[in-house]
Structure 1
């Protein structure tokens, strides 16, 4: 079981090293059991955080029976992930934050998208999701270099839904 308070404190501490006092950063961390969004504003205030009961393992285990998951399994997972993220819309002001992540998963997604800089644009993330969708729809997984783990698919799905429903056009990679 992940120690939520330790994760939040560690991520907040890491983000604070790079922040200007006027920056409004929202850190995204996809754990095995939970997804964390942490307001790492440029002040010394304690971070505001949201812990969602969706994570790479828990979402995969709950919804994905097959490997790779079926299109229906992906759709059912999207419904829960969307519901969890959409509940944050009233509390996370659109356009106020820049999204940042230290996650190896997010860096992997950027790598599979061919991103070489320090930002993962939504378009490039979508290209990776489209490749997973093609595999789910029947294209042989051996025709792509993407990981074939259901946890990767669940994590990618969470990243996608966060970007879409909280209106982020890119993720800053740290």
Structure 2
């Protein structure tokens, strides 16, 4: 087994295959996976009624940065644009173009991208979960997790199991029935999200679909 799997997955590759309840089955989707920049105010207004009542953290993956938005928002007229947020210098387009030479990245490509993402997250530990849920309303994440309507909840272990399937695909070991959405952007978006869950200690991910 390749080094990055042995080092980073901690035997979850075996668990992901043996524990079928934790495997997320995704139908094959034909269109290309792209990143759409979204206005945070509009996004929040559109999904506000679907968000949990307890404290949580909304994350938006842009092309060259990720934006974290704590929820509920503090009530202050002094906050620019009415939204308190924190940007970190990791983006889907950035990771895809800087590290991935192939639509299905190989081991060295994934390993180098992981190191870059880890370094940036470790500089932003102020964003650690503190018991909050991580929320994504990005269309790319909804496609990867096959969420077409409403809100779907995933544990950190389920996200890890899905990423393990992508890692096996990178090694040419995917099942014939493993119809995963692929492409550089899909890999980058899932990889960034997976690293956030681990290094910022989020236990639960909510995917909100339009």
TM-score (norm 2): 0.68
**2:45 aligns to what?**
13
Contact 1:56 1:151 in 2 (8 A): yes
Runs of 4+ in 1 over 6 A off after TM superposition: none
Query: Higher Cα Rg: structure 1 or 2?
Result: 2
Does 2:151 match 1:120?
Answer: no
Higher relative contact order (CA 8 A, sep 6+): 2
The alignment status of 1:99 with 2:131, answered yes or no, reads no
C-alpha spacing 1:172/1:65, structure 2 compared with 1 (3 Å): same
More moved, 57-66 vs 45-54:
45-54
* Compared CA separation, residues 142 and 99, structure 1 to 2 (3 A): same
Q: Which runs of 5+ in 1 are unaligned?
A: none
SS of equivalent to 2:39: helix
Q: CA RMSD in A?
A: 2.8
Aligned length: 167
**How many Å apart are 1:105 and its aligned residue?**
2.4
1:166 aligns with 2:178: no
Uncovered stretches (5+) of structure 2, i.e. residues with no partner: 1-34, 77-81
Aligned to 2:79: none
Match of 2:114 in 1: 78
TM-score, normalised to structure 1, is 0.80
Comparing 44-53 and 136-145, the one that deviates more: 136-145
